Chain A
Amino acid sequence: MAVTTLEVPGDGTTATLRRRRPKLGVYTLLVPASLLMAVALGYPLVRQFVISFQEYGLRQQFGQPAEWVGLANYTDLLSDPYVWTVIGRSIAFCLINAAVTMVIGIAFAVLMARVGAAARMTLQVSLLLAWGTPVLASMTVWQWLFDSQYGAINWVLSNVLGFEGMAHHSWIIQPLSFYFVATVIVVWMSVPFVAFSVYAGLLQVPEETMEAAQLDGASARQRFWNITMPMVRPVLSVVLLLQVIWDLKVFTQIYVLQRAGAPTRDTNLLGTLIYSYAKEFSKAGALATIMLVITLALTGFYIRQMLKEDEL
């Protein structure tokens, strides 16, 4: 192992070890990971960016040289009102899903901290089951639950709650209802991660601080908002950041629901729209770049905040 190249004789002056200038060996530790990421992530990223300024379609696949077209791919996309619709939808979907996931996840974390061990374990196991299930397996069972003919959800709505019109309701035909189903599924899958992360954060809040505040007469509500929340804020911002990123690029859930018979054009989000450009590499590249810019616009503030707070 490359580790052996790092050997430094133990001389007893322990405090200086960390700052000792290492030999070239350190860089060899980084080579395999860096090389792999450069090849399989960096190269496609750069290439896609370059192609987004070229005319690159089927003809170029068969050896024709690609022509530089400047911003033509971008202006084509951005002058298409449909693209703007999809961008708007994606941002709305992302923000709503991230917000709902965060609120429910934080509520569950607070609940876990409040209840006895047995109830907490029950909730945790349930959330872990939802979290650990492969996304395609979850998608499959949700399609079955929302099935228009024999789905459990329609049965409960029509036979238990008395909404008779829901008996054969098809959930994914209407765009709004489609996004509702997608939101239910995405939130169901994402909440466990938020709940567990925030719960882990809550456990880090020192007992002494809470006791001191209590002695000073702070109510439970005041303690929560003025001590607990500020102290877990770093966790909250990381989790929120990840949710926004994940929910903006959501693909699998939308794609699978579309395959289940939803009208594609009315339900596309950015991920599925890029996928639909699979044969037009230049357009796909340009749209992917636009998506990256939107991601950075939505998350840039938090990233900067995190970099400021976190000494790397």
Chain B
Amino acid sequence: MSTLATGAQPATNATADLPVRPTKARRGGSPASSTAGRRAWGVVAVLIAVVWVFPIYWMINSAFLPLNKLQAPDPTFLPLGGTMSNFRQVWADPSFWAAMRISLSVVVIVLVAALIFAFLAALAVSRFRFRGRKAFILTILVVQMIPAEGLFISQFQMLDGWHLVNRVAGLALVYVAAILPFTIWMLRGFVQGVPIELEEAGMVDGLSRTGAFFRITFPLLAPGLVAAGVYGFLQAWNEYTLALVVMTDPSQRTLPLWLQGLVEANRATDWGVVMAGAALIAIPVIAFFLFVQNKMTSGLVAGAVKG
């Protein structure tokens, strides 16, 4: 679920439910008649792309500009003659690195725990029929409907009772629980996407069930695990609400909390530094996201079955 940050929504949501297929465009009637129309729509698409990406361009552009250009009567649209001083200022800030350490610790714990637990559960519900299976899947679905924003206060109380407030372990605990339902749901789709016939064929050829699973199914699940991992990474890296509630001590801030602090300290004084901070948090994640998004649509399974 993305009970976590409302804005950062899960990678490959409904797509995980669909059988994986090569995503090649194969639409558009008779090719000859529609070429002109296609080109016109292409221009529209590119214009929309420019508008949509503008805020991100603006973040990077402003991060390179010195204060006198940011506060000039007319904005500077290209960071020509830009400066690295905004980045250097963030780089030299020990609180940035402290927040980085906290964020990375949370992310690592969340990823390892969520992937292992979700994988086991997904395996159970998609490869076996057993009593309570439907109830479990239903629970997973319903849990995703629960507004986390309604739960955070009692989660805080619970962690407070266990002395886990302002602890990486406490934040990681509520994060793992929050992303587990969706991760299970997603991995279940991927496990189902690998036809059991492949595994059975391996068993006919003399592999044990475990052997067939690890030699045949597991490699085919790699894209699914990567996708689920990216989802968990993004959620834990980007989440703000629970971090705000759980990490009240300024020395225990995660990166989003640190960024909000930077905004509040520099609003109306120096947006350049704030933009540099935002860019430093965003760029690694975006790069990662782009890289993996591509891998997730590789159509591995379809190829395996046909071949």
Contact = CB atoms under 8 A, between A and B. Distances in A.
A123 B45 contact: yes
Interface of B: 2, 5-10, 12-15, 17-19, 21, 23-29, 37-39, 41-46, 48-50, 52-53, 55-56, 58-59, 62, 70-71, 74-75, 113, 116-118, 120-121, 123-125, 127-130, 133-134, 136-138, 141, 143-158, 173-174, 176-178, 180-181, 184, 196-197, 200-201, 203-204, 206-210, 212-214, 234, 237-238, 240-241, 244-245, 255-256, 259-260, 263-264, 267-268, 271, 274-275, 277-279, 281-282, 285-286, 288-290, 293
A256 interface: yes
Interface of A: 2-4, 6-10, 12, 14, 17-19, 21-22, 26-27, 29-30, 32-34, 36-37, 39-41, 43-45, 47-48, 51, 108, 111-120, 122-123, 125-145, 147, 149-150, 152, 155, 159, 185-186, 188-191, 193, 196-197, 200-204, 207, 210, 214, 220, 235, 238-239, 242, 245-253, 255-256, 259-260, 270-271, 274-275, 277-278, 281, 284-285, 287-289, 291-292, 295-296, 299, 303, 307, 312
A259 B201 CA distance: 60
A140 B149 CA distance: 21
A170 to B, nearest CB: 12
A27 B120 CA distance: 10
Given A18-B129, A43-B158, A150-B75, A116 B42 contact: yes
A51 to B, nearest CB: 7
A138 B7 contact: yes
B78 to A, nearest CB: 13
A246 B182 CA distance: 14
A111 B45 contact: yes
B58 to A, nearest CB: 6
Contact of A33 (B9, B180, B259): B180
B270 to A, nearest CB: 11
Contacts of A32: 116-117, 120-121
Given A40-B174, A136-B278, A140-B259, A119 B6 contact: no
B234 A299 contact: no
A232 to B, nearest CB: 10
B147 A295 contact: yes
Nearest to A149: B268
B173 A135 contact: no
21 contacts: A33-B180, A34-B136, A36-B176, A37-B177, A37-B181, A44-B154, A48-B150, A48-B153, A127-B49, A129-B290, A133-B56, A136-B238, A242-B9, A247-B6, A252-B6, A253-B7, A255-B244, A292-B150, A295-B145, A295-B146, A295-B147
